[in-house]
């Protein structure tokens, strides 16, 4: 009897062993300063943006442009990160162009750069354009013509198009290998601006990039182009800055909410990742009208991260069974 009591007493003194993980500390908690936008500055930006939008809209809908000139203009609008102002106009134009192609199906008039750009834009907007647009660039052996290796802009355009391929697009599998090889070997011999584009594209294709980061990067590249459209560039810069102000407001709200939860003191074993989850939300929903969705997304992500750590880095099996049963009930 005495032996049993001693054993029970010994076990009761043992501390629960928890599989604590050595997570890196939150580096953002003291770096997010309170932010209140300057109302006058905000309104000034909005007024100028509205005027610039009207100008760009007129350019977008102007008659007298060839179809490829319109595609090029749409591509610049999207890569500069301002397409959210012209979603309806862009969709209507692409639908009109796609209807023309399904009727005529004639692609031989396009060079490689134009054909690839057209293909990529259609695919990105959900139009099921055929890979037949590239047949004219294939030799008798079913390979891309070697003469194309000297057309760097065309190769870059085809490389970006190859990343919107779907299952069964064998010609685009070949395009990816072909363009990657020639762009890698020819990159060091290009002019500085084109070389930057090629180097970055090989590291991260446009289709796999984060929209806001891609816009920031392209604004600097487009500005270096002597033929850039000043109205487009000005609108892109103002819009980017205005959205940044909106993100700062969102982020301040997210961090304030996180501090009110007292997550660091209540859950010291869990990761505090409110800022990272907000960055994730911006990657998915960058447009200005989705502020509430971004914050909801970020809050949910941060809470899910803490719950995940309760399971993976703190709770014992018995405790987690109780928690799981409670959640299921």
Same domain, 88 and 184: yes
What's residue 2's pLDDT? 44
Domain boundary pick from 179, 195, 228 = 228
Query: Is residue 70 a part of any domain in this protein?
Result: yes
Query: Which whole number is the average pLDDT over 274-278?
Result: 93
- Check pLDDT > 50 for residue 5: no
What's residue 92's pLDDT? 95
- Check pLDDT > 90 for residue 269: no
CA–CA separation, 105 and 96 (whole Å): 14
Same domain, 183 and 308: no
CA–CA separation, 144 and 163 (whole Å): 17
- Check pLDDT > 90 for residue 187: no
- Check pLDDT > 60 for residue 106: no
- Check pLDDT > 80 for residue 219: yes
Same domain, 296 and 322: yes
281-322 pLDDT tens trace: 999 999 999 999 999 999 999 999 999 999 988 888 899 999
**Reported confidence tier of residue 6, pLDDT bands at 50, 70, 90:** very low
What's residue 100's pLDDT? 81
Return mean pLDDT, the chain: 88
Query: Is residue 49 a part of any domain in this protein?
Result: no
Domain boundary pick from 194, 228, 262 = 228
Q: Which of 20-34, 62-76, 94-108, 133-147 has the lowest mean pLDDT?
A: 94-108
Tell me the CA distances in angstroms from 329 to 236, 319, 325, one per residue in order.
Answer: 51, 16, 6
71-91 pLDDT tens trace: 999 999 999 999 999 999 999
Same domain, 81 and 211: yes
- Check pLDDT > 70 for residue 215: yes
Same domain, 224 and 117: yes
What's residue 7's pLDDT? 44
Percent with pLDDT over 90 in the chain: 65
Q: Name the token pair of 179.
A: 């363009």
CA–CA separation, 233 and 226 (whole Å): 12
Number of domains in the chain: 2
Q: Which of 15-29, 50-64, 272-286 has the lowest mean pLDDT?
A: 15-29
CA–CA separation, 119 and 107 (whole Å): 11
**Reported confidence tier of residue 35, pLDDT bands at 50, 70, 90:** confident
Query: Is residue 161 a part of any domain in this protein?
Result: yes
Same domain, 218 and 293: no
Structural domain including 251 reads 22-36+242-328
- Check pLDDT > 90 for residue 126: yes
Same domain, 289 and 155: no
What's residue 153's pLDDT? 93
CB 58 within 8 A of CB 85: no
Query: Which whole number is the average pLDDT over 17-43?
Result: 80
- Check pLDDT > 80 for residue 52: yes
Query: Is residue 113 a part of any domain in this protein?
Result: yes
Same domain, 32 and 142: no
Indicate the pTM of the whole model.
Answer: 0.86
Domain boundary pick from 197, 228, 259 = 228
CB 249 within 8 A of CB 37: yes
Q: Which of 34-43, 90-99, 164-173, 291-300 has the lowest mean pLDDT?
A: 34-43
Same domain, 75 and 210: yes
Same domain, 198 and 258: no
Residues forming a β-bridge with 138: 144
CA–CA separation, 78 and 89 (whole Å): 12
Same domain, 274 and 300: yes
Where is 50: in which H helix or E strand?
A: helix 39-61
Q: Name the token pair of 162.
A: 């190859």
Query: Is residue 183 a part of any domain in this protein?
Result: yes
HSE on the CB side for 252, CA within 13 Å? 11
- In this structure, what CATH number is given to the domain that contains residue 98? 1.50.10.130
């Amino acid at each position: 009897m005495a032996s049993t009591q001693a054993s029970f007493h010994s076990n009761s003194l043992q501390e629960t062993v928890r599989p604590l993980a050595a997570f890196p500390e939150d580096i953002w908690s003291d770096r997010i300063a309170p932010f209140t936008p300057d109302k006058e500055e905000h309104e000034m930006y909005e007024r100028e943006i509205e005027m610039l939008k009207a100008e760009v809209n007129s350019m977008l809908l102007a008659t007298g442009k060839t179809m490829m000139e319109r595609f090029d203009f749409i591509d610049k609008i999207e890569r500069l990160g301002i397409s959210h102002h012209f979603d309806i106009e862009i969709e209507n134009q692409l639908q009109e162009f796609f209807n023309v192609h399904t009727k005529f199906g004639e692609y031989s008039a396009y060079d490689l750069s134009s054909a690839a750009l057209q293909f990529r834009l259609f695919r990105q907007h959900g139009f099921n354009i055929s890979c037949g647009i590239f047949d004219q660039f294939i030799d008798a052996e079913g390979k891309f013509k070697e003469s194309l290796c000297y057309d760097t802009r065309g190769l870059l355009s085809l490389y970006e198009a190859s990343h919107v391929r779907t299952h069964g697009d064998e010609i685009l599998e070949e395009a990816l290998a072909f363009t990657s090889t020639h762009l890698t070997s020819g990159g060091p011999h290009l002019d500085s601006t084109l070389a930057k584009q090629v180097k970055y594209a090989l590291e991260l294709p446009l289709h796999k990039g984060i929209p806001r980061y891609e816009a920031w990067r392209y604004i600097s590249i487009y500005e270096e182009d002597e033929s850039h459209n000043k109205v487009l560039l000005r609108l892109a810069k103002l819009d980017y800055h205005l959205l940044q102000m909106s993100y700062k407001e969102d982020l301040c709200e997210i961090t304030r909410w996180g501090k009110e939860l007292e997550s660091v003191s209540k859950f010291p074993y869990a990761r505090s990742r409110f800022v990272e989850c907000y960055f994730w939300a911006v990657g998915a929903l960058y447009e200005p009208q989705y502020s509430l969705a971004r914050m909801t997304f970020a809050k949910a992500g941060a809470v899910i991260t803490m719950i995940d750590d309760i399971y993976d880095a703190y709770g014992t099996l018995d405790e987690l069974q109780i928690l799981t049963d409670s959640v299921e009930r």
